[in-house]
Amino acid sequence: MILSALLTSVGINLGLCFFFFTLYSVLRKQPVNVVVYAPRLLHKEKEKSEPREDEFVLERLLPSTGWVRQAWDVSEEELLSNLGLDAVVFMRIFIFSLKAFAFAGVVGMFILLPVNYVGSQLEIDFADLPNKSLDSFGISNVNNGSNRLWIHFCAVYVFTGVVCYLLYYEYSYISSKRITFFYSSKPQPHQFTILVHGVPVSAGNSVSEAVESFFTENHPSTYLSHVVVRRTNRLQGLINDVEKMYRRVVHLKSETQSSQRVKREGFLGLFGRKVNLLEHCEKKLEELEDTVRLEQSSFAGEEVPAAFVSFKSRLGAAVAVHIRQGLNPTEWITESAPEPEEVHWPFFSASFMKRWIYKLIAVIAVIALTILFLIPVVIVQGLANLNQLETWFPFLKGILSLTVVSQVITGYLPSLILHLFLSLVPPVMIMFSSMQGYISLSQIEKSACTMVLWFTVWNIFFANTLSGTAFYQLNVFLEPKNIPKVLAEAVPAQASFFISYVVTSGWTSLSSEVCRLFPLIWSYVGRLFAGKDDDDFDVPSIPYHSQIPKILFFGLLGITFFFLDPLILPFIVVYYALGYIIYRNQLLNVYAHKYETGGKFWPIVHNSTIFSLILMHIIAIGTFGLKKLPLAASLTVPLPVLTLLFNEYCRKRFLPIFEAYSAESIVKKDKEDQNDPSISEFYDKLVTAYEDPALLELRRSRRRDGHTSPLLHDA
């Protein structure tokens, strides 16, 4: 790629970004779009029953930058109180990356880039600047054996030091935030509750009796109550049916013309005798509700050998979690309970062995998917080429023969297919994660986040770098000795690809994030065809498992190319700066938090950054070797070792804080509770907090609009 081509691409993408931002600033002001662009705020207002003003002013049609200022002005405390610690940690990724790459950018652009540019290894004729190949800005242009490479060597050391310092600072900052957050939290059910798996049941006893007798025996002073888990998949399905039917009844009632309520009974409502549709639906709804009640009452039998056990103090729960309970380590397995709202009910597999085997299968499936992902994609891309399409759809022949069309198809179809497949990955990983027997949504998302991250690194970084067959790639990793050399040869060659990847994929993903094009179109379609009203909207939760890997991957690119081709750094800085504003805006307006992990996503960020650093070091060793500076290569070897030691120190110093709270803080909170008069009320709530929602009594409550609703009894 030459410089002018890069600049053109940058210009086009920058223009597109600003176009989308302008579009967004107009669209967001239309009241009709408020369900797309500010569902969180809308939901909050609804709760407070504040009506929204809908008057039309001209200003609504003018683009403005008010949202940028708004997003910029939010303080971390506001973010924390509105969206919890996870959102703060999410934003810290941007702050950390901005700091790191601001430093890297200055070093790269003002020291490394000039050094590379004056090299003459590539023997590019001194033509005018715009036609220069991008390679002349990379390390490949520095002459072999040149002492200038020591500048790169120093840069690698200094940059590693700076990143490690920033990592340490962030880890310590977020740790202290986490502890403060815990200290300021009110008593919450999950702090007092554990989940116990693998309850051994002797003949003639129920699970409930076994749990009761075990915990009154072994934790007499702290045990409070328990709730046995039941298998409710089928019941949950029925309840979903009830809710669907209920919505339909409500919808039918709200429609003014009663004529529409009459429909024929038979196929597609076209044949058979006419019935009053509303009456028909209401009758069906009642039938369904009866079935649910019947199921619920006859459901005592299907107990799973697992239970939520609540304690009178946090320390009681901590003791039960941290000390092995039963004589047999595969029985009475305990873990901390998640928040009641985020319990993943569908999957409570019975035995220790089953959980373990499922976990194994999931791990194998993820590895297989990650390694072999490209094979089906390449095949499908091959099938979707021009000739194949002509064979399948002969009527397209005319259109396909047009040059423009064929260019678009050959140019964009493969990339489109790749992106389609890629967008399927996060949901698939969520599926695999939930197979692993995690009991909470947050654990599932955290696990999926890690998986998607490694998937991205493998399939975008390594698969692009080590072009060739999948088997060849595997071969490289079976011969560890050659890795530095292979990477040092392959990675710099892909510099221009990754620069344009940052500019296109990175920047575009940000503008599509802010514009929310799919939800926007979906909302219009819903309103036009399905007759959905504004009351009927979901507040999306922050999709950590798909966003964090994407953001971290650009960090990996920045770190690995820092000394290879510093030209990538300004684009990455721009990405993080834009991302900082846009995600703050989205967190404020769009997303709500469904659960609170207390910052448990940060260790993933830390580990990923350490991995990027090590990868950079390995490439550096290979590069100095290839550049005939073996001394520099040898002197780089201690760097990954030191980095790993630093990582090990952080694991010991900070990671335990993210795994569990200390006795000191637990006891302090427990003592506060003892002086709290409302604690007995809390205990009453705690006893029923972990009832399976599917087993709660179906209740019809009058809503303010007068409809009857099969709400679930929730207190």
Which residues form the interface with a copy of itself (CB under 8 A)?
179, 214, 217-219, 315, 318-320, 322-330, 332, 352, 356, 360, 478-481, 645, 649, 652-657, 660, 662-667
CB of 466 to a copy of itself, least distance (A): 17
Query: 638 vs 17, 307, 463, 531, 559, CA distance in Å?
Result: 43, 50, 28, 65, 18
Residues 6+ apart with CB under 8 A from 370: 451, 454, 455, 458, 459
Cα distance between residue 21 and residue 585, in whole Å: 12
Structure tokens at 584: 């703050």
Cα distance between residue 463 and residue 490, in whole Å: 11
Query: CA geometry: angle at 162 spanning 654 and 153, to 5°?
Result: 130
CB of 644 to a copy of itself, least distance (A): 11
Dihedral angle, C-alpha 644, 647, 649, 654, nearest 10 °? -170
CB of 474 to a copy of itself, least distance (A): 10
CB of 320 to a copy of itself, least distance (A): 7
- At position 625, the amino acid (one-letter code) is G
Which residue's entry shows tokens 């390390």?
Answer: 139
CB of 481 to a copy of itself, least distance (A): 5
CB of 545 to a copy of itself, least distance (A): 27
- At position 673, the amino acid (one-letter code) is D
CB of 615 to a copy of itself, least distance (A): 19
CB of 659 to a copy of itself, least distance (A): 8
When the beta carbons of 154 and 315 are compared against a copy of itself, the nearer one is 315
Which residue's entry shows tokens 């967008």?
Answer: 423
When the beta carbons of 183 and 522 are compared against a copy of itself, the nearer one is 183
When the beta carbons of 64 and 475 are compared against a copy of itself, the nearer one is 475
DSSP letter at 599?
A: S
User: Chain centroid to CA 467: how far?
Assistant: 28
Cα distance between residue 708 and residue 613, in whole Å: 59
When the beta carbons of 47 and 664 are compared against a copy of itself, the nearer one is 664
- At position 452, the amino acid (one-letter code) is V
* 52 within 8 A of 31, measured Cβ to Cβ: yes
CB of 116 to a copy of itself, least distance (A): 33
When the beta carbons of 314 and 584 are compared against a copy of itself, the nearer one is 314
When the beta carbons of 272 and 329 are compared against a copy of itself, the nearer one is 329
When the beta carbons of 252 and 319 are compared against a copy of itself, the nearer one is 319
When the beta carbons of 346 and 638 are compared against a copy of itself, the nearer one is 638
CB of 213 to a copy of itself, least distance (A): 12
When the beta carbons of 67 and 171 are compared against a copy of itself, the nearer one is 171
* 3-class secondary-structure state, position 679: helix
Q: Which of 441, 572, 591, 431 is nearest to 513 (CA)?
A: 591
Cα distance between residue 341 and residue 508, in whole Å: 34
Task: List the beta bridge partners of residue 334.
Answer: 196
DSSP code per residue over 339-401:
-GGGB-TT---SSHHHHHHHHHHHHHHHHHHHHHTHHHHHHHHHHTSHHHHHHH-GGGHHHHT
Phi, psi (degrees; rounded to nearest 5) at 40:
-65, -45
Structure tokens at 473: 């790639």
CB of 311 to a copy of itself, least distance (A): 13
When the beta carbons of 95 and 201 are compared against a copy of itself, the nearer one is 201
CB of 656 to a copy of itself, least distance (A): 4
Do strands 262-264 and 274-276 pair parallel, antiparallel, or not at all (unpaired)? antiparallel
- At position 650, the amino acid (one-letter code) is C
Q: What is the largest CA-CA distance in the chain?
A: 92
When the beta carbons of 93 and 650 are compared against a copy of itself, the nearer one is 650
Q: Which of 694, 713, 701, 707 is nearest to 292 (CA)?
A: 694
When the beta carbons of 179 and 416 are compared against a copy of itself, the nearer one is 179
Cα distance between residue 394 and residue 379, in whole Å: 21
CB of 322 to a copy of itself, least distance (A): 4
When the beta carbons of 106 and 663 are compared against a copy of itself, the nearer one is 663
Cα distance between residue 371 and residue 366, in whole Å: 9
When the beta carbons of 64 and 330 are compared against a copy of itself, the nearer one is 330
Q: Which of 563, 573, 618 is nearest to 108 (CA)?
A: 563
When the beta carbons of 351 and 401 are compared against a copy of itself, the nearer one is 351
User: Chain centroid to CA 103: how far?
Assistant: 28
Which residue's entry shows tokens 């200022």?
Answer: 69
CB of 49 to a copy of itself, least distance (A): 42
* 85 within 8 A of 182, measured Cβ to Cβ: no
CB of 193 to a copy of itself, least distance (A): 17
